[in-house]
Structure 1
Amino acid sequence: MTPTELAEKLHIRDAVLLAGRLLLSLIFVHEGLQLATHFEGAQKAMAALGVGTPLLFATIALQLGAGLSVALGIVARLGAVALGLFCLMTASLFHTNFASQNELLHFEKDLAIAGGMLILALSGAGRLSVDRVLIGMRGRGGEGAKVDPAESHS
């Protein structure tokens, strides 16, 4: 048995996709919770950057909603695209003072996360996802589940 055949048999690809999804989503779920639980401080900090309260609410909703979407594998492709675009916008709007090493690091971090999210959007969540469980349940119910060919790895 070749290493590739062994990996396929053990579904390592899906385990790696799950680990990647969890690692990518952690920062967004954590930051969304931080913003929500420390709302007044976040509101003041965002106002100093020219970001109003409605956009702060939208940011919290995006980070928590799309972050959980990616982590759990519920419409993960959509969540990944949303967070990838969010990272690109954040990098280009808030981290452009390249004279500061810290700002440059945040810019590069946002680009790297955006790249990971775009790769996830192309690859899909894999078999270890809530969507896959729901598709499996629907398929057992006799409705004949339609499976995204990009998700099929058998």
Structure 2
Amino acid sequence: MTPTEIAEKLHARDVVLLAGRLLLSLIFVHEGLQLATHFEGAQKAMAVLGVGTPLLIATIALQLGAGLSVALGILARLGALALGLFCLMTAGLFHTNFASQNELLHFEKDLAIAGGMFILALCGAGRLSVDRVIAGFVKGAEIDTPIEQHSSTSETSLPV
């Protein structure tokens, strides 16, 4: 398949889903790398907040694992759901001092990111995902297999 043929088969929905996945996952991959590469400093900062080393390690693993899951479209629904729940917990546990404008802003951002992740969990990664490529190879089908049409709405969903 030539680049022109690929471009003709792409739909705006898939390109937007890819851009959204990349933008949503950027903060988690970046923060996970920052925590991992500055582990001792992160460990001290988290201890002040009452977060122990095992939870810090789990946070790093979640941010990197689920962040890359969303970015690449590998089990993106599961990664998005995990990150959405993580954002809700972070907002509720660490950003509830609404007297501080900064804390209120972090609370609202966490809620907004969680909302985006839940929408992604519902919609799926789209055609431009590693899962879609793997499904094509496993089933022996072409990557551009038709998408399912829901009879109840005019919305479409991808099998992956």
Letter aligned with residue 12 of structure 1:
A
Counterpart mapping for 1:23-102 below 5 A: 23-102=23-102
Distance 1:84 1:97, change over 3 A: same
* Long gaps (5+) in structure 2: 1-7, 150-156
Alpha-carbon RMSD? 1.9
Gap regions ≥5 residues in structure 1: 1-7
C-alpha separation in 2, matches of 1:92 and 1:69: 24
Deviation at 1:151, TM superposition (A): 0.9
2:158 aligned counterpart, secondary structure: coil
Aligned residues with identical type, % of pairs: 84
Give the match for residue 17 of structure 2. 17
Hey, which bits of structure 1, 4+ residues long, moved more than 6 A?
none
Structure 1 distance, partners of 2:31, 2:15, is 25
Deviation, 1:148, is: 7.5
Distance 1:83 1:135 in 2: 24
The TM-score with structure 2 as length reference comes to 0.84
- Matched residue pairs, number? 141
Aligned to 1:120: 120
Q: 1:151 aligns with which of 146, 149, 158?
A: 158
Normalising by structure 1, report the TM-score: 0.87
| Deviations 1:39-74 (CA, angstroms, capped at 9, x unpaired) | 000000000000000000000000000000000000
In structure 1, C-alpha distance between the alignment counterparts of 2:116 and 2:33, rounded to whole Å? 22
Q: CA–CA distance in 2 between the matches of 1:33 and 1:123?
A: 27
How far apart in 2 are the matches of 1:28 and 1:43? 17
